[in-house]
Homo-oligomer: A and B are copies of this chain.
Amino acid sequence: MENWLTKRAQLSPDRLAVQYQETKLTFAQMKEKVQRIATQLAQLAQNEERIAVITSNQLQGYLMILAVQQLGKTVVLINRRLSAREINFQLQDAGVQVVVQDDDFALTLSVDQQVSFTEVLAIPVTTLIEPVAEFDLDAVTSIMYTSGTTGNPKGVMQTFGNHFYSAVGSALNLGIMADDVWLAVVPIFHISGLSIMMRSLIYGMGVRLFEKFDVHAINHALLNGEVTTISVVPMMLTQLLAELPANTRYHKNFRTMLLGGGPTDLTTLQRAKAAGIEVVQSYGMTETASQVIALDAANAQRKLGSAGKPLFPVSIRVAHQDDQQHGRIQIKSPTLAVGYLNQPEKYANTFEDGWFDTGDMGWLDDEGFLFIDGREGDMISSGGENVFPDEIESIYAKLDEIKQIAVVGVPDKKWGAVPVAFVTFKDGQTLSRQALRDFGRDMLAHYKVPAHFYKATDFPRTASGKVQRHKLRDLLANASEIE
């Protein structure tokens, strides 16, 4: 297929491509800027197969990602919130030697070149490079890492074809109109945000880019009809509604609130309905290049708690069912990533008879709506990020003073959920709350650092001695924090 950016600049040169703060770029303008940046990046990373971009949701990073694509190189998208240790693992795994980053990104990484966006933009340009003529649907264009319950993070390799079919599947579910504008406050280094960028190129759709989740500014955009669609996680939906004045309805242009990262409750849905919002619940992951299952607004209340039905190009099945017809949720989709970088076997092992096993359990009702029992293991969904207790525990286990640590998610008003830790120390040893927190902040993304550290003497255990994480919450009422 022709280079999507070139094509878009040709087909709809004057349409809005992206708006960030007061800056608006049409597709023709964006193409020009991106081509210049691609020329600069080419000088920086001539022989590199991959370039890592570390950015928040701001315009320069947005254009950098597109520029890497224009060079025919793969962009490795790094979660800005990770620790240096975590990022270095990913860079090394992906063989990345060139990182371009937000000017205010302060960590020093183990790579040959760590270049700020301002430095990239200062590289002299004489002749503009020719962007790649075609986007090969089978070629890997983006890599982003996901954690799991066990082992190292996995570099998910997404092809142009993955992104294309994802955009098509979404369009066939939500519709597309020439004047659509999608608000991106979910991170562009996650698939939720990157998929909005790819849809923009494919649909010729504007993106309204927000760096921070500024409830007031975002509600303003939705009320004024500047935006037709927004992707949110549950905590965003709740906060947007909480801030909305009573008896206020969103603008009629605002068509869809696409909700990912977990289900919502009936009260929130009813509040949303009163405000004139169509909430489309959805389910997806990095490996499926964003949403593959979605519940439409028409069925939101009737099928409360359901993730919906598989999008048009997607098939699902529930395998290994028990008596109640609950089983493992498995997927076939042209949006499925082509593999985990350097871990082909690990990816192959997630498949069963050609079906990708999501690791989640669920069941289908008689109309084919999917209900998800719970996320993989004890995963905590915190403000749109997936947090795995295992990972946190294994990091803290490196501290000599700690005998055992157990982490569990607890509800949080702002983030939906946060991790908290129960700690036992070795005989005669101890660590302060501050020391525990500092260690975590060195080793882990901040959102993974337990919000509270509680003293424990022992943990609820199974007969075989395994800690029962879900029973830890029962201890909370009487727990006291480490000082």
Chain A residues at the B interface, C-beta cutoff of 8 Å: 1-2, 7, 10-11, 168, 171-172, 175-178, 202-204, 309, 312-313, 315, 334, 368
Contact = CB atoms under 8 A, between A and B. Distances in A.
A357 B63 CA distance: 37
B1 A203 contact: no
Nearest to A168: B168
Given A10-B368, A168-B168, A172-B176, 9 more contacts: A1-B334, A7-B312, A171-B171, A171-B172, A172-B202, A172-B203, A175-B176, A175-B177, A202-B312
Given A10-B309, A10-B368, A309-B10, A204 B172 contact: yes
A11 to B, nearest CB: 6
Given A10-B368, A171-B171, A368-B10, A1 B313 contact: yes
Contacts of A176: 171-172, 175-176
A279 to B, nearest CB: 15
Contacts of A202: 172, 312
Contacts of A368: 10
A168 B334 CA distance: 15
A70 B204 CA distance: 35
A68 B434 CA distance: 71
Contacts of A315: 2
A161 to B, nearest CB: 11
Nearest to A14: B298
Given A11-B312, A309-B10, A175 B172 contact: no
23 contacts: A1-B313, A1-B334, A2-B315, A7-B312, A10-B309, A10-B368, A11-B309, A11-B312, A168-B168, A171-B172, A171-B176, A172-B176, A172-B202, A172-B203, A172-B204, A175-B175, A175-B176, A175-B177, A175-B178, A176-B176, A177-B177, A202-B312, A204-B312
Nearest to A8: B312
Contacts of A309: 10-11
- 9 closest residue pairs by CB, A with B: A175-B177, A175-B176, A2-B315, A10-B368, A168-B168, A11-B309, A176-B176, A175-B178, A1-B313
Contacts of A203: 172
A125 to B, nearest CB: 25
A171 B175 CA distance: 9
A138 to B, nearest CB: 13
Nearest to A133: B315
A7 B310 CA distance: 9
A203 B1 CA distance: 22
Nearest to A177: B175
Contacts of A168: 168
Nearest to A294: B11
Contacts of A2: 315
Contacts of A11: 309, 312
A83 to B, nearest CB: 41
A164 to B, nearest CB: 9
A309 B11 CA distance: 7
A168 B164 CA distance: 10
A171 B2 CA distance: 18
